Chain A
Amino acid sequence: MDLCLTVNGQPISLPEVPGEASLLEVLRGRLGLLGTKEGCGVGECGACTVLLDGRAVNSCLTAAWQAAGRQVTTIEGLAQGGQLHPLQRAFVEAGAVQCGFCTPGMILAAWDLLQRNHHPSDQEIKQALTGNLCRCTGYHDILRAVRRAARWLREGAP
């Protein structure tokens, strides 16, 4: 099938996408967007999280055709004009990045949360990100980063 979708603001048309292809396979294999990671293939780890019309989804469990005609945002599309998104900057500065493999998915899942909830409690942050596994940080500094980004988004980054 031919697949038309918008990825990081760019309209894209892809010929001959197999019906069983996942959005993850299309993003990585056809579009070379390697920032979207694969960690389990069964929707458990969240490393493949992308935004579909602004909502976080596991791209390994999302069929490519489900994205037809819709807006997909990957980690590569988050920084505007080279400027890091406040979440990205907060992750860097709070030490929330260790090996960095879970980071793209974690940031996009947090983006979805902060879009809907400008003032999340710690418990709300934990709940929103509980589908994104990290083996390095113990989540401690990720929590600090999301708190900080929420504040910056409300009050402006320093």
Chain B
Amino acid sequence: MSLGRSLIRVGAEERVRGRTVFGYDLERPGDLHLAAVRADQAPARILAIDPGPALALPGVLRVFTAADIPGENRLGIIASTRDHEFLAQELVRQQGQAVALVAARTLAQAQAGARAVAVAVRYQPLPGVFDPAQALREGAPLVHPERPGGNLLHERRIRRGDAEAALRDSAVVVEATYTTSPLEHCALELEGGRAEYVDGRVVVAACTQNPHYDRQDLARFLGVEPERVRVIQAETGGGFGGKLDLSLQPFLALAAWHLKRPVCMRYTREESFRATSKRHPLVMHFITGADEQGCLTGLQARILCDTGAFASYGLAVNMRAAVHASGPYLVPHLDVVSRAAYTNNPFTGAMRGFGVPQIALAHEGQMDALALALGRDPLELRLRNALRNGQATGTGQVLHSGVGLARCLERLRPIYRRWQARAASGEDFREGVGLAAMFYGIGNTGVSNPSTAQLEWGTDGRVTLFTGAAEIGQGSDTVLRQLAATRLGIPVEEIDLCRGDTDRTTNAGATSASRQTYISGNAVLAAADNLEMQLVQAARQMLGQHHLELELRGGRLAAPDGRSLAPAQVARYLTGQGRRARGAGRFDPNFSGLDPDTGQGRPYAAYAFAAQCAWVRVDTDSGLVRVKEVAAAHDVGRAINPRGVMGQICGGVAMGLGMALMEQFRFGQTDNLHRYHIPTFLDAPRITPLIVEEAEETGPYGAKGVGEPALIPTAPAVAAAVGRAVGRPLRHLPISLERVMAALTHEEAEHAN
């Protein structure tokens, strides 16, 4: 039985030996090299691009511009908002947008060519808009002038009951504004890949979180049928949402298509910072009410997301921010409006949690404010309002199973109380303990997002799992094999994996939205069911007993009388008939779209729940915050691989700590890791991961997901702890030294971003 066991991760041994070939490592001798030319000003109109000086340099073979794109130069995963011009056509909408691409024999020659082109681009500066609130005002410069909706990318309302009346009649009402900053994913592997032109097709191998989407958009970009593009997911060294959009794949495909020669490309860290999406900064104005018993009465929330120059995943972030604004609580009356606006800032998109880590700062800050106003304990107040099985979310969705928040809070309670008792203060330091909770819908919001998989029993007795699910370090290769092994009743070692090659696998959707365990896991189980059915039918034919009862048990086809048959034998029989023992499965979560006006509906089939508490020490001379300990209780439904779950939790906590205390992207200022700080070994607190298993009845063996939930409560818990230590709430991230000192010195200078 492999379910619930901390099996060693697939590929770990190759990784410690340094043998794993990542997208970044794919260069081969003789490959041409590519370098992008990126705009150093925006917005601007391109008046002319002169490739002459670059083409005169040694080794430079070609300079591509938008005019060389054979297909559609508007890419993006969300079909209704595709707008990313991969090479700027006429307008440059953000700094760092690519305007040309140079192909040369060596990397140095390509880079020299790119510099020569860069100085030979003539721009006409245009007025821009860099603040999302200003972007929505009448007369603001338009980021996409051709677009009918102006700078408003998307608006989502969630309305339930009468929030205004509920707030009016509440015993206490708290009101505050919260803000967050743009963040960079900083996966350790930089973007890298390689493309070839083979028999009239372009083959692109690169790091990615979504190979089958990549293929579709690359085919549109080249103006060819998808069959003429093959995408192979290279081993991918982390993603966190940063490798969901296409990065350098369109450049690789374009150059291989035109030059008919192998090409490779890598981003430097600086280019990765400049060229890829960021986490949306949000401005969140919340008014929350409660009655005298501490029960939530109503919420009015106004949310504004800066989506930057391109839509990317902006619509998804905006939807999620609105849907999750209630927090994991029973809120009878809601009035939420969330808007995402274009600006000429670097485009923002998917990053671990899609808006929920941001919105959690607000709903948790409000819970603490209510606790203070009511004189109640923050944990007990949350417990009182925590959603329970059978209750409805803010979108009116009744959750029948899998609501494990109360259990998470109860697991934390003894730790939280112990830390509260031990938190000390001294001459030059103060300590505080904070708590935060969250819920997170698994999969995409209110849309179909199926996964597919196949399982094939070979004539040699081994089973192959075919999946399009991108492994990026989170562990899906391991978990999907564990699920297949459990269902087929064989050891996990007998399952081989074929993953992420669009010629050999089918679409599993993105590795995002914490969806692969739940959705692809269910698709793998469906494939196993289908394989069993095919094996049983074939075995009946083979034995000439058409009504024989057979089922897959312990890796064999077993009859009620105790006789059994090896599936490999049936596979050989099928092979003799020119067939294969191959089962296919598909799973799409049971959802319904949100009502366009009220936002009511069933956006997700399953939700993960979590609560974390943090213990911090604040140096009162410098404002330095050190997080001493974090305890993280996560309801994952069922831990298929407990070590993997704990690894996700600990990694999420560290990333959340970076969001809380240190990370803030500023274009041109924080474009490498010496300026943009992510948590180091010394910053990492002691972490106690706690697994709670409140089974989700539709999950594979009850499982949900944990990738993003791991991060979401951390920043609000740290903010609450710092707030407790310094005696006033911290509502703006990151909680920099300046902000802590301002709070400590009671200045009314708690500046928003």
Residues of A within 8 A of B (CB): 33-42, 44-45, 47, 74-76, 78-79, 84, 88-89, 91-93, 95, 97-104, 107, 125-127, 129-143
Whole-angstrom distance between the alpha carbons of A100 and B8 in the complex?
A: 13
**A-B contacts, 12 listed (Cβ < 8 Å):** A35-B18, A39-B190, A42-B672, A42-B673, A74-B18, A76-B17, A91-B12, A100-B237, A104-B18, A135-B240, A140-B650, A140-B684
Q: Is the CB of B9 within 8 A of A99?
A: no
Minimal Cβ-Cβ distance residue in A for B192: A38
Q: Is the CB of B15 within 8 A of A130?
A: no
Minimal Cβ-Cβ distance residue in B for A34: B25
Residues of A within 8 A of B8 (CB): 92-93
> When each residue 195-213 of chain B gets 1 if its CB lies under 8 Å from chain A and 0 otherwise, what string results?
0000000000000000000
Minimal Cβ-Cβ distance residue in A for B687: A140
Residues of A within 8 A of B652 (CB): 138
Minimum-distance CB pairs A-B, first 8: A35-B18, A99-B473, A101-B237, A100-B15, A75-B18, A138-B654, A138-B650, A140-B650
B62 touches A (CB below 8 Å): no
Query: Chain A nearest CB: distance from B613 CB in Å?
Result: 16
Residues of B within 8 A of A104 (CB): 16, 18
Known pairs A39-B673, A139-B654 / 13 extra A-B pairs, C-beta < 8 Å:
A35-B18, A37-B237, A40-B269, A75-B17, A79-B17, A84-B16, A88-B17, A89-B16, A97-B16, A100-B16, A126-B682, A127-B681, A134-B681
Whole-angstrom distance between the alpha carbons of A133 and B184 in the complex?
A: 15
Known contacts A39-B269, A42-B672, A95-B9; A101 and B682 CB within 8 A of each other: no
Whole-angstrom distance between the alpha carbons of A93 and B24 in the complex?
A: 26
Q: Is the CB of B15 within 8 A of A97?
A: yes
Interface segment among B51-59, B363-371, B524-532, B640-648: the answer is B640-648
Residues of B within 8 A of A134 (CB): 188, 681
Residues of B within 8 A of A100 (CB): 11-12, 15-16, 20, 235, 237, 473
Q: Is the CB of B16 within 8 A of A138?
A: no
Q: Is the CB of B646 within 8 A of A95?
A: yes
Residues of A within 8 A of B17 (CB): 35, 75-76, 78-79, 84, 88
Whole-angstrom distance between the alpha carbons of A95 and B651 in the complex?
A: 12
Minimal Cβ-Cβ distance residue in A for B642: A95
Residue from B20, B25, B473, B673 in contact with A98 in the complex, judged by beta carbons closer than 8 Å:
B473
Whole-angstrom distance between the alpha carbons of A103 and B235 in the complex?
A: 14
What DSSP secondary structure best describes chain B's contact surface?
loop
Residues of A within 8 A of B188 (CB): 37, 39, 45, 47, 99, 101-102, 133-136
Residues of B within 8 A of A76 (CB): 17-19
Residue from B12, B190, B655, B682 in contact with A38 in the complex, judged by beta carbons closer than 8 Å:
B190
Query: Chain B nearest CB: distance from A88 CB in Å?
Result: 4
Minimal Cβ-Cβ distance residue in A for B657: A138
Query: Chain A nearest CB: distance from B287 CB in Å?
Result: 35
Q: Is the CB of A92 within 8 A of B22?
A: no
Residues of B within 8 A of A95 (CB): 6, 9, 643-644, 646-647
B626-647 contacts to A, CB under 8 A, are: 643-644, 646-647
Residues of A within 8 A of B2 (CB): none
Contacts between the two chains (Cβ within 8 Å), count:
171
Whole-angstrom distance between the alpha carbons of A137 and B15 in the complex?
A: 15
Known contacts A99-B188, A135-B655; A84 and B13 CB within 8 A of each other: yes
Residues of B within 8 A of A44 (CB): 672-674
B595 touches A (CB below 8 Å): no
Known contacts A45-B673, A95-B9, A135-B187; A127 and B655 CB within 8 A of each other: no
Q: Is the CB of A137 within 8 A of B647?
A: yes
Number of interface residues, chain B, beta carbon within 8 A: 55
> When each residue 133-158 of chain B gets 1 if its CB lies under 8 Å from chain A and 0 otherwise, what string results?
00000000000000000000000000
Whole-angstrom distance between the alpha carbons of A3 and B6 in the complex?
A: 46
B680-738 contacts to A, CB under 8 A, are: 680-682, 684, 687, 689
Whole-angstrom distance between the alpha carbons of A74 and B18 in the complex?
A: 9
Residues of B within 8 A of A135 (CB): 185-188, 238, 240, 651, 654-655, 678
Query: Chain B nearest CB: distance from A131 CB in Å?
Result: 8
Query: Chain B nearest CB: distance from A136 CB in Å?
Result: 5
Whole-angstrom distance between the alpha carbons of A88 and B19 in the complex?
A: 13
Minimal Cβ-Cβ distance residue in A for B269: A40
Q: Is the CB of A99 within 8 A of B647?
A: no
Which of the listed residues B235, B679, B680 has the most CB atoms from chain A within 10 Å of its own CB? Answer: B680
Query: Chain B nearest CB: distance from A72 CB in Å?
Result: 13
Minimal Cβ-Cβ distance residue in A for B472: A99
Known contacts A39-B190, A93-B8, A99-B188; A136 and B651 CB within 8 A of each other: yes
Whole-angstrom distance between the alpha carbons of A44 and B655 in the complex?
A: 17
Residues of B within 8 A of A130 (CB): 680-682
Minimal Cβ-Cβ distance residue in B for A100: B15
Query: Chain A nearest CB: distance from B671 CB in Å?
Result: 11
Residues of A within 8 A of B650 (CB): 137-141
Q: Is the CB of B682 within 8 A of A138?
A: no
Minimal Cβ-Cβ distance residue in A for B21: A34
Q: Is the CB of A141 within 8 A of B673?
A: no
Q: Is the CB of B672 within 8 A of A127?
A: no
Q: Is the CB of A92 within 8 A of B18?
A: no
Query: Chain A nearest CB: distance from B23 CB in Å?
Result: 10
Whole-angstrom distance between the alpha carbons of A41 and B24 in the complex?
A: 14
Residue from A39, A91, A99, A142 in contact with B236 in the complex, judged by beta carbons closer than 8 Å:
A99
Query: Chain B nearest CB: distance from A10 CB in Å?
Result: 16
B268 touches A (CB below 8 Å): yes
Residue from B473, B673, B684 in contact with A40 in the complex, judged by beta carbons closer than 8 Å:
B673
Whole-angstrom distance between the alpha carbons of A104 and B673 in the complex?
A: 19
Whole-angstrom distance between the alpha carbons of A129 and B473 in the complex?
A: 21
Q: Is the CB of B474 within 8 A of A98?
A: yes
Q: Is the CB of B18 within 8 A of A91?
A: no
Query: Chain B nearest CB: distance from A133 CB in Å?
Result: 6
B291 touches A (CB below 8 Å): no
Query: Chain B nearest CB: distance from A84 CB in Å?
Result: 7
Known contacts A34-B21, A38-B190, A133-B188; A139 and B681 CB within 8 A of each other: yes
